[in-house]
């Protein structure tokens, strides 16, 4: 079957800027983004049955159950298949080998005309801590746009007193506190190596982008990666 659709999987620690880069791709390239973190927080905010189950895991910086996350993603992909036409970023999924395996099977079964690209966002721990200290997000669960108080990543048009998209208040995420950040980073590095090995064994090329630089430069490098893919 001819390849007509592209999925970009962003791999990187919390605070690497997966959400910020995804937003630029949405704004400037017309791509779509599926962030499992956004989906999870939306469930918690709406107090759905899923939300009640995952609230504790998120607050304590742990991963949500693989089966639950995979079901959420598969349902979303079936409902939003149009999102794949231009380019879809998976931001924060898969995070474990079990999730990657389930995604591979789902794509082989339901989205076989899709090309999967892996992009690893590389950043130092120091960079992560700085980024997360400056991160604020839109409070509106249906928006959750990401902003940064760090000048080098702030778009000049952003005023940082309210969301530019929906005018809701901007807040700090509860799990961006220091102790939880440390747990989230530890969890990320526990899975990173296995995940990258899984992609390599699946014959998928992992491209790296240095994100310890200003967002505009990250976007430029990422676009070069996309163009190199044809």
37 touching ligand AMP, by CB under 6 A: yes
Distance in Å, CB of 205 to ligand AMP, minimum: 21
- Binder of ligand AMP out of 26, 51, 53, 57 (CB under 6 A): 57
Distance, in Å, from the CA atom of 227 to the CA atom of 22, rounded to the nearest integer, reads 16
Distance, in Å, from the CA atom of 188 to the CA atom of 5, rounded to the nearest integer, reads 28
123 touching ligand AMP, by CB under 6 A: no
What are the φ and ψ backbone dihedral angles of 25, each rounded to 5 degrees?
-65, -35
Token digits for 113?
A: 């005309």
Nearer to ligand AMP, 90 or 159 (CB): 90
Segments of the chain assigned E as strands: 5-11, 32-35, 88-91, 114-122, 135-138, 146-148, 170-171, 206-210
What are the φ and ψ backbone dihedral angles of 89, each rounded to 5 degrees?
-100, 130
Nearer to ligand AMP, 62 or 122 (CB): 62
Q: How far is CA 202 from CA 96, 116, 173, 205, 221, in A?
A: 15, 11, 35, 9, 25
Taking the CB of residue 106, how many other CB atoms lie within 10 A of it?
15
138 touching ligand AMP, by CB under 6 A: no
- Binder of ligand AMP out of 8, 10, 31, 93 (CB under 6 A): 93
36 touching ligand AMP, by CB under 6 A: yes
Distance in Å, CB of 112 to ligand AMP, minimum: 23
In 3D space, the residue among 171, 161, 141, 134 whose CA is nearest the CA of residue 20 turns out to be 134
- Binder of ligand AMP out of 25, 64, 121, 215 (CB under 6 A): 64
- Binder of ligand AMP out of 131, 145, 184, 191 (CB under 6 A): 184
Nearer to ligand AMP, 156 or 185 (CB): 185
- Binder of ligand AMP out of 21, 24, 69, 163 (CB under 6 A): 69
Contacts of 101 (CB under 8 A, 6+ apart): 198
153 touching ligand AMP, by CB under 6 A: no
Nearer to ligand AMP, 38 or 157 (CB): 38
Q: Can you give the binding site for ligand AMP, defined by CB under 6 A?
A: 14, 36-37, 40, 57-58, 61-64, 69, 92-93, 95, 99, 175, 184
């Amino acid at each position: 079957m001819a390849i007509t659709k592209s999925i970009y999987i962003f791999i990187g620690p919390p605070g690497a800027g997966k959400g910020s880069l995804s937003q630029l791709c949405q704004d400037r390239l017309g791509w779509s983004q599926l962030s499992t973190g956004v989906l999870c927080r939306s469930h918690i905010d709406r107090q759905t049955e899923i939300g009640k189950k995952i609230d504790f895991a998120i607050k304590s910086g742990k991963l949500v159950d693989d089966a639950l996350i995979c079901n959420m993603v598969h349902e979303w992909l079936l409902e939003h298949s149009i999102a794949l036409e231009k380019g879809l970023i998976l931001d924060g999924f898969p995070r474990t080998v079990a999730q990657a395996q389930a995604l591979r099977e789902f794509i082989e079964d339901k989205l076989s005309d899709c090309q999967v690209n892996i992009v690893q966002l590389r950043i130092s721990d120091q960079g992560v801590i700085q980024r997360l200290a400056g991160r604020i997000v839109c409070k509106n669960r249906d928006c959750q746009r990401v902003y940064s108080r760090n000048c080098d990543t702030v778009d000049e048009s952003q005023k940082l007193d309210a969301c530019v998209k929906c005018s809701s208040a901007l807040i700090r995420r509860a799990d961006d506190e220091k102790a939880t950040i440390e747990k989230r980073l530890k969890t990320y590095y526990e899975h990173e190596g296995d995940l990258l090995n899984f992609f390599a064994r699946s014959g998928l090329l992992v491209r790296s982008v240095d994100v310890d630089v200003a967002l505009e430069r990250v976007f430029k490098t990422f676009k070069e990666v996309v163009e190199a893919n044809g």
